[in-house]
Amino acid sequence: MNIIDNLLRDGDNLYDQWNLTDIPFAESAEKLDRLAQVFTGREAELSQVVNLLRSRDAKSILVYGWIGIGKTAFVRLLLEGLKRSLGDRVLTARIKLEANTDLSTAALIALARQMPNDEWAQYQLNCMGLRSSLPLRSRKTTAGADMGFKATVEESTVAPEAPQFPTLSFEDLLDRALQKHERVIIAIDDLDKQDPARARQLLLNAQGLLKGRAWFLLTGHP
């Protein structure tokens, strides 16, 4: 047996002890599929946010810290935990803020993606050139009287249209979501990847949104 075999075998034994198959640390918490398995600490911060969430009034919470400190991991673990414990009482959504997107468009997309059975939401995603979870169909019905009654329905799938501004507002969609869920919590991650002046402007433009009926979790760095 050569040295490589030995090293691999020792590695396997070590990983088996921890119930792992490979290195659990990804560069970003974004891609980590077993976050709960490796997540440690942050009890005080988690308890702070969970206590805030008991309030009836929606709040916006800024998760603040240097890049790599664990903001994405924190937000993900929190949202996954809330969803697991509260089920349909809560709707949780998370989106990475892309350049050239304002907060309300990001929030609208995040929310729509979590409403796969809502035709409005899926239509909106489609109109924005984003993939909806429902195939959108157009229907053509022809009916006629010809020795009795004859009707045919032709159905075809509609291709996504070119991106355009939302025609459905975030508020419209939030109304629909709040009919089914007590709380809507939207995490907008990567605000910290914007330059500080732009991040400030985005927050200023989103004052109304952030003081509305949805909870927001935003991440930012000093």
Ligand X SMILES: Nc1ncnc2c1ncn2[C@@H]1O[C@H](COP(=O)(O)OP(=O)(O)O)[C@@H](O)[C@H]1O
Residues whose CB is less than 8 angstroms from the CB of residue 160 and which lie 6 or more positions away in sequence, other chains included: 126, 129, 130, 131, 132
Q: From 68-76, 82-90, 110-118, 196-204, give the range in contact with Mg ion by CB under 5 A.
A: 68-76
Q: From 10-18, 22-30, 80-88, 97-105, give the range in contact with ligand X by CB under 6 A.
A: 22-30
Compute how many other C-beta atoms are within 10 angstroms of the C-beta atom of residue 42. 15
* Choice from 60, 61, 70, 93 touching ligand X (CB under 6 A): 70
* Choice from 49, 60, 72, 122 touching ligand X (CB under 6 A): 72
* Choice from 72, 92, 122, 124 touching Mg ion (CB under 5 A): 72
Query: How many Å apart are CA 192 and CA 218, to the nearest integer?
Result: 9
Helix crossing, 170-180 with 119-127: angle to 10°? 150
Exposed (0-12), middle (13-18) or buried (19+): which is 105, by Cβ within 10 Å? middle
**Rule CB under 6 A: is residue 42 a binding residue for ligand X?**
yes
Total binding residues for ligand X by CB under 6 A?
Answer: 18
Sign of the four-CA dihedral 161, 165, 171, 172: negative
Q: Which of Mg ion, ligand X, none interacts with 70 (beta carbon under 5 to 8 A by kind)? A: ligand X
Residues at the contact surface with ligand X, assessed by CB under 6 A: 25-26, 28-29, 32, 38-42, 65, 67-73
Residues at the contact surface with Mg ion, assessed by CB under 5 A: 72
